């Protein structure tokens, strides 16, 4: 019987493990090795580690946990159930684990544009988050991908990082007159042609090729097409979700299920490494405080 099972070994899960290990709790952490930013070569915006490779960040985090006796298992969890104050977790190899508290830190995955060339460039010159990658794209010719009306907000936002912003609606024509006037007033160009493919070298976007054969020179592409939970364990356990598909959390990362905490991107809040790590720390402290109360004589 563990005090805590943590599912997910990204920044949220690892930081929670650190606080719980330092609180002398018996903790096991499962990780399937697919952190959301694994596509990327730089992790930006984390004070003291700005620009660090995300893989190095995870390795460093794991190394820091060794002295606290955290068990780390590089395996995916398949199912989790809760009954009478006990969580029962099954990994994909059929092994069963029990705990008093459970932390979900399983993260999200992004809906990528369905364009030829995206996977090679995602995380290098194709991005979804301007706070993570806007600085590196500053003053470039920035493309925003947004069929129908999906790219308007992001195209306007990207003007903070470059004067040269074009919204590509990829063969759709749903912008209203007011949308067009707003974009024009803010000097955002619009291209309605269907995109055939993206061209670049070493992960760096060079051209967007249109169905007309025209090649538009572009240095970066941003998109915002929504996300999905990386794991369905929150759903299995009966968590409440927001309309955007993230798990509703209360103060200190409590979920609606007693003893179940959720931290990082899987939970409601800003989706950045520093925020995920901070939520993991909050959950770690809250879990320890709940265990202390339960054990007090
Ligand atoms: C391309 C890209 C670039 C980014 N760049 C930045 C940046 O520069 N700066 C920044 O602050 N943020 C950046 N982000 C956002 C950042 O990746 C996330 O905010 C952060 O990773 C969230 O941490 P997390 O611990 O919640 O989840 P994750 O880091 O996604 O970790 C979740 C972990 O849970 C594991 N997992 C999931 N399901 C299971 C299961 N059933 N069993 C076991 N393990 C499971 C996964 O394998 C994964 O290792 C970027 C995101 C992307 C996509």
- What integer pLDDT is reported at residue 166 of this predicted model? 98
List the one residue out of 23, 26, 24, 36 whose CA is nearest residue 6.
Answer: 26
- What integer pLDDT is reported at residue 180 of this predicted model? 98
State the closest ligand 1 atom to the C-alpha of 33, by its place in the atom list counted from 1: 47
CA of 278 to the centre of ligand 1 (A): 14
Angle of helix 11-22 versus helix 273-295 axis, rounded to 10 = 30
Rounded-to-integer distance, Cα 27 and Cα 17, Å: 7
Domain 118-223 classification at class level: alpha beta
CA of 149 to the centre of ligand 1 (A): 27
Question: What is the per-residue pLDDT across 11-27, written as a single tens digit (0 to 9) for each?
Answer: 999 999 999 999 999 99
Q: Tell me if 290 CB under 6 Å of ligand 1.
A: no
2-110+226-295: what fold? FAD/NAD(P)-binding domain (3.50.50)
List the one residue out of 132, 137, 136 whose CA is nearest residue 46.
Answer: 132
State the closest ligand 1 atom to the C-alpha of 77, by its place in the atom list counted from 1: 42
Q: Tell me if 57 CB under 6 Å of ligand 1.
A: no
Q: Tell me if 253 CB under 6 Å of ligand 1.
A: no
Q: Tell me if 89 CB under 6 Å of ligand 1.
A: no
Within a 13 Å sphere around the CA of 106, how many CA atoms are in the beta-carbon half?
Answer: 24
Output the pTM of the full model: 0.97
Q: Tell me if 97 CB under 6 Å of ligand 1.
A: no
Rounded-to-integer distance, Cα 161 and Cα 136, Å: 9
Q: What is the DSSP letter of 246?
A: P
Which positions ≥6 away from 174 have C-beta within 8 Å?
148, 149
For residue 217, give the H/E element and its range.
strand 215-217
Where do the domains of the chain lie? 2-110+226-295, 118-223
226 sits in the region (left: phi over 0; alpha: psi -120 to 50; else beta) called left
Q: Tell me if 141 CB under 6 Å of ligand 1.
A: no
Domains 2-110+226-295 and 118-223 share a fold: yes
- Beta strand residue intervals within 84-214, DSSP E: 86-91, 96-104, 108-110, 126-127, 142-145, 165-168, 189-191, 195-201, 204-210
**Residues of the chain where predicted confidence (pLDDT) is lower than 50:** none
State the closest ligand 1 atom to the C-alpha of 273, by its place in the atom list counted from 1: 11
Q: Tell me if 32 CB under 6 Å of ligand 1.
A: yes
- What integer pLDDT is reported at residue 269 of this predicted model? 86
State the closest ligand 1 atom to the C-alpha of 271, by its place in the atom list counted from 1: 19
Q: Tell me if 36 CB under 6 Å of ligand 1.
A: yes
Q: Tell me if 14 CB under 6 Å of ligand 1.
A: no
Q: Closest residue (by CA) to atom 44 of ligand 1?
A: 31
């Amino acid at each position: 019987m563990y005090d805590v099972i943590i599912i997910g070994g990204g920044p949220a899960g690892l930081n929670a493990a650190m606080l719980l290990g330092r609180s002398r709790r018996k903790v096991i952490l499962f990780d399937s090795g697919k952190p959301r930013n694994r596509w990327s070569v730089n992790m930006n915006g984390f004070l003291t580690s700005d620009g660090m490779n995300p893989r190095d960040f995870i390795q460093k985090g794991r190394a820091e946990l060794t002295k606290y006796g955290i068990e780390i298992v590089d395996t995916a969890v398949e199912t989790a159930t809760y009954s009478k104050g006990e969580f029962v977790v099954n990994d994909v190899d059929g092994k069963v684990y029990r705990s008093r508290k459970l932390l979900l830190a399983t993260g999200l995955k992004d809906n990528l544009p369905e364009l030829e060339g995206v996977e090679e460039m995602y995380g290098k010159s194709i991005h979804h988050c301007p706070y993570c990658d806007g600085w590196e794209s500053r003053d470039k010719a920035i493309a925003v991908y947004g069929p129908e009306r999906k790219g308007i907000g992001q195209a306007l936002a990207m003007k903070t990082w470059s004067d040269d912003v074009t919204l590509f609606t990829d063969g759709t024509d749903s912008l209203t007159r007011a949308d067009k006037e707003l974009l024009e007033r803010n000097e955002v160009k619009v291209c309605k042609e269907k995109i055939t493919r993206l061209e670049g070298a070493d992960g760096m976007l060079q051209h967007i090729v249109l169905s007309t054969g025209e090649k538009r020179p572009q240095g970066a592409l941003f998109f915002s097409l929504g996300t999905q939970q990386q794991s369905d364990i929150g759903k299995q356990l009966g968590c409440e979700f927001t309309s955007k598909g993230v798990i509703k959390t209360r103060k200190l990362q409590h979920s609606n299920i007693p003893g179940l905490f959720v931290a990082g991107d899987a939970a409601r809040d800003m989706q950045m490494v520093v925020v995920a790590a901070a939520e993991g720390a909050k959950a770690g402290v809250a879990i320890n405080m709940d265990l202390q109360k339960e054990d007090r004589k």
